Amino acid sequence: MRRCLRFFVAIVALGFSVVGAEAQTPSSGLGLRISKIFGFDLAGRIQGAFRLTASGHDDLERVRFVIDGDTLGEVTAPPFSLSFDTTSYALGRHVLAAIGTTSSGRSLESPPVTVEFVSSDSAFGSMMQIIGPVLVIALGVSVLTIVVPLIGGGRVAHRPGEYGIAGGAVCPKCDLPFSRHFIAPSFLGYRLERCPHCGKWSLAARAKAQDLVAAEASLQAQADATPAPPNGEDSMRRMIDESRFEE
């Protein structure tokens, strides 16, 4: 279960457009950017695979990337980029920089970028602090769409032609129309819904207009064929009439 949750969090994390750390490029110096390839990147805390990119001068001939003063690697052709993985280094704070050399022999150095390498567990915990509340809200809404109809009991009257923003559906069990709930759990265009007519659950797709018209006609036909229940006055009169024949 934990492995599946980690996988889900990783997929969601990829959907976030997180801007990597970047050293400001001085007017006469070199710029350094750290961009994420895969992993975690939040407020200077990183974990996973990243890319260092140096820029700022068209006449760069080579760039040496350093971490804590030690050479990380050297690139002699554009683009001046170098990939690295945080798992190859100790956890904690590290200082990254780039030292470039131009074709004229001029040496350029980027401002240092300080980042913190964190463990996968720490990255997972940080992502859960962000994604966790969203998951709880989504789960709560999904549960409400299931529980509320069960608690509410009776059937909800259907209003022909009124289906809301989620559209209408035709129950695959009883072939009658109903409105889909906007907050109902959905998957590939289908929503988990409880039919207000037969009370059965199903994955309901948004129905076409002609299908809804046909289903509404069927619903109206059933309503016309069902005799109206007697009201209280009719029932009382019937009881009085029947009592005349009792001894």
The answer on 160 and 105 residing in a single domain is: no
Between 12 and 179, the more confident residue is 179
Average pLDDT, the chain: 79
Domain count for the chain: 2
User: Do residues 163 and 182 touch, judged by C-beta distance below 8 A?
Assistant: no
pLDDT tens figures, 6-29: 544 444 444 443 444 555 555 557
Residue 10 resides in a domain: yes
Q: Residue 86: what pLDDT? A: 94
Q: Note down the domain range covering 197.
A: 154-227
Segment 100-122 shows an average pLDDT of 92
Q: Residue 148: what pLDDT? A: 58
| Residue 35: band (very low, low, confident or very high) from pLDDT cuts 50, 70, 90 | very high
The answer on 121 and 163 residing in a single domain is: no
The answer on 168 and 102 residing in a single domain is: no
Residue 58 resides in a domain: yes
Q: What is the pTM of this model?
A: 0.49
CATH code for the domain in which residue 122 is found? 2.60.40.10
The answer on 8 and 121 residing in a single domain is: yes
The answer on 105 and 174 residing in a single domain is: no
The answer on 159 and 119 residing in a single domain is: no
| Residue 231: band (very low, low, confident or very high) from pLDDT cuts 50, 70, 90 | low
